[in-house]
Amino acid sequence: MKKRPESGLSARQNLLLVELVKNPDIQAAARAAGIGRTTAYRWLAQPDFSNELTRRRDDAMTEALSSIKSQTTRAAMELNRLLDTEDERLRRMLCNDILRHAIRVRELEEIERRLIRLEQHMASQEKQFTTKSAKAVRWSALRRQENITRKGMSHEIQRPQD
């Protein structure tokens, strides 16, 4: 099996990766790539292969989202234009859709703000815990040292004098 230097994967593995990005059904993707089902599952169990699949799926999703994002302004302008339509029913439906989306955006923004505050709080708690833990470890070490020293002194005191 010839390896491709850029990914370390064979041409057949790359073909299966392409099919798996297009179709999440492993068996269907394997058939489309002309690869046996068992071989596909064996490759999926290999970290290099599964990591490459994850990377390629992420890239495909990023590209798709970028395409959608680039059309949002156009869609918003079209909705605004349609709001001026004579059809009262269509205007009402558009208004409801726009308001529903605006409310959803607001909810997501609030969730994001709360999540950020939670993460900041957890980070500060972790920092305090780490500081307290370090102090506790130092304190514990000092106590052990003190106990050892006391035991050593008590042994010296209890030694019989000749």
pLDDT digits (tens, 9 = 90+) for 113-132: 999 999 998 988 887 777 77
Helix or strand (DSSP H, E) at 33: helix 26-33
- Name the residue with tokens 């489309």: 32
Query: Predicted confidence band at 133 (pLDDT cuts at 50, 70, 90)?
Result: confident
Of 57-71, 77-91, 117-131, the one with minimum mean pLDDT is 117-131
The whole-model pTM stands at: 0.51
Mean of all residue pLDDT scores within the chain: 86
Structural domain includes residue 162: no
Amino acid residing at 7: S
Tell me, yes or no, whether 66 and 96 share the same domain: no
Amino acid residing at 40: A
Which of 71, 91, 117 is the last residue before a domain boundary?
71
Query: Predicted confidence band at 2 (pLDDT cuts at 50, 70, 90)?
Result: low
Amino acid residing at 97: D
Query: Predicted confidence band at 41 (pLDDT cuts at 50, 70, 90)?
Result: very high
**Best CA proximity match to 40, nearest among 19, 58, 61, 59:** 19
Structural domain includes residue 78: no
Tell me, yes or no, whether 27 and 55 share the same domain: yes
What is the per-residue pLDDT for 149? 66
SS3 24: coil
Which of 50, 71, 92 is the last residue before a domain boundary?
71
The CA-to-CA distance between both ends of the chain, in Å, stands at 85
Query: Predicted confidence band at 151 (pLDDT cuts at 50, 70, 90)?
Result: low
Q: Which domain holds residue 105?
A: 83-157
